Structure 1
Amino acid sequence: MKFTSTDSYIATEDLTIAVNAAVTLQRPLLVKGEPGTGKTELARQVAAGLGLKMLEWNVKSTTRARQGLYEYDAVSRLRDSQLGDERVHDVKNYIRKGKLWQAFDTDERVVLLIDEIDKADIEFPNDLLQELDKMEFHVYETGETIRARQRPVVIITSNNEKELPDAFLRRCFFHYIRFPDPETLKRIVEVHFPGIKEDLLSTALSQFFEIRETPGLKKKPSTSEVLDWLKLLLAEDLGPEDLKREGSHLLPKLHGALLKNEQDVHLFERLAFMSRRGSR
């Protein structure tokens, strides 16, 4: 089982090496990178490329590690006991399987995505050490131990919002998705917009990298944002000549797809003001 780029996802050589190394080592792949660089999409493409089913666990600030294992619904059991329901005699009727249990409880290997693990409490990764390392956990309510029938391919994403514990990092194979260089980004765009005119693509990407590298920018536009921007340019049937930025027009066309906060918009407005003053 080897992962490579797919028809809809361009993976760099170092990324494919990282994925295949994690699969070979049977360790979780921890993927970090700027938001919008395709970390979540990577898991979907790995599943598609390896022909595996995918399970997705989206982590939030309120998510607890045990929710990935199972949840015991004691309230429903109490209510059913008051109503005389026969289901109360079997505690298994009140246990809801989490994503890890679902991944363990299958005869076929699956890809398990734990998305944005850094959103959760700092103890969240530590609470999953045993389960991800030994691929088993204990269900206290029933006394049974759940072991993975097939070791899943685990992909964990992080936006670097907080540091992850060293003990957790030791159990992962790590890869940082760097922002694509112009040539790689061009290939990514051509996958999403086949047949896009070369002159428009060249002008748009040149302008995009100029914007991204502007000093003082609070949030640099990402891969997903340049794809949104190009989609709008094509929908408006704009050409390279429509993208010129000079004088009072330093804000890019349809800039709302690229600049996502007022500080960055004001930055370009100030640059335009300074440019006007300098040309007098």
Structure 2
Amino acid sequence: MKFTGTENYVATEDLQMAVNAAIVLQRPLLIKGEPGTGKTLLAEELAKALGAPLIQWHIKSTTKAQQGLYEYDAVSRLRDSQLGDDKVHDISNYIVKGKLWEAFSAEEQCILLIDEIDKADIEFPNDLLLELDKMEFYVYETKERIVAKNRPIVIITSNNEKELPDAFLRRCFFHYINFPDAETMQDIVDVHFPQAQKELVKDALEIFFDVRKVPGMKKKPSTSELIDWLKLLMADELSAKALLEHDPAQAIPPLYGALVKNEQDVHLLQRLAFMARRRG
């Protein structure tokens, strides 16, 4: 089965090709792109499209690669030994399986999402080279080798916060999700709000792309922020009316807090609106 997107996820031809190529090559698919462009959602929708289980490993700055394999709970074993519990004699009782172990031991092929890999330490990707390449690892405490029953489809996302090692990149199929153009964005909005007023959506999209074009914006609004903004506009008839009557030379958009996420950008838009009023 080939991935062509879903009723809830608009996938461009380039993205479809990348997903299907990674599946054929049996390589992890490394997805980069602006925050809010649907990188994480891709794994969720791919799992739905293929009817496969989804295993999610969300990476934090403190996450270690070993945690994805397994962890040995020595503290619990020490406590149980002090209490005289018989299970202390079997060390496997204190091995906590990680997300990779979960994916490797799944009875059917699953989707493994390694989300925001660039948040972790720079050595994190290198520590997973063998496991992602060979789809196996060794448990030293129990002296057993864990081999994937069915090779999972691995989706790895990155927000480009730090560079990934070349050796890791070599093992991945790479795709960068470009920010949607106006036509693709219209398709995305139609998926989320099929009953929305066309005039409202048209005006909202024009304002959204105008805000993104403002020079000096520290954080440009993303797709997810546009969806939130439209949801608010449709929930508040007064705001929707204000948008339809909106004069771009008079003020910043109504409910701009859904689009703009830091004070520097708010002040920038306010200054531009003030300057436009003076010229008017």
TM interval, short-chain normalised: over 0.9
Which residue type is aligned with residue 153 of structure 2? Answer: V
Q: Which residue of 2 aligns with 1:270?
A: 271
Secondary structure (helix, strand or coil) at the match of 1:146 reads strand
Which residue type is aligned with residue 49 of structure 2? Answer: G
1:246 aligns with 2:249: yes
1:82 & 1:180 partners in 2: Cα distance?
60
Which residue type is aligned with residue 267 of structure 1? Answer: L
In structure 2, runs of 5+ residues without a counterpart are: none
Deviations 1:23-47 (A, max 9, x none): 0000000000000000000000000
1:158 & 1:77 partners in 2: Cα distance?
37
Q: Which residue of 1 aligns with 2:80?
A: 80
Q: Which residue of 1 aligns with 2:147?
A: 147
Q: Which residue of 1 aligns with 2:97?
A: 97
Secondary structure (helix, strand or coil) at the match of 1:234 reads helix
In structure 1, runs of 5+ residues without a counterpart are: none
Instruction: Say whether the 8 Å CA contact 1:19–1:29 is kept in structure 2.
Output: yes
Q: Which residues in structure 2 correspond to 1:183-222 (within 5 Å)?
A: 183-222=183-222
Deviations 1:109-139 (A, max 9, x none): 0000000000000000000000000000000
1:243 & 1:105 partners in 2: Cα distance?
56
Identical-pair percentage: 68
Which residue type is aligned with residue 98 of structure 2? Answer: G
1:229 & 1:189 partners in 2: Cα distance?
11
Secondary structure (helix, strand or coil) at the match of 1:184 reads helix
2:51 & 2:274 partners in 1: Cα distance?
54
Secondary structure (helix, strand or coil) at the match of 2:245 reads helix
Q: Which residue of 1 aligns with 2:138?
A: 138
2:173 & 2:256 partners in 1: Cα distance?
37
Question: How far is the alpha carbon of 1:269 from its aligned partner?
Answer: 1.3
RMSD: 0.9
Aligned residues: 277
Which residue type is aligned with residue 123 of structure 2? Answer: E
Q: Which residues in structure 2 correspond to 1:12-31 (within 5 Å)?
A: 12-31=12-31
Q: Give the TM-score taking structure 2 as reference length.
A: 0.97
2:46 & 2:78 partners in 1: Cα distance?
43
Question: How far is the alpha carbon of 1:273 from its aligned partner?
Answer: 2.2
Question: How far is the alpha carbon of 1:272 from its aligned partner?
Answer: 1.9
2:273 & 2:197 partners in 1: Cα distance?
29
Q: Give the TM-score taking structure 1 as reference length.
A: 0.97
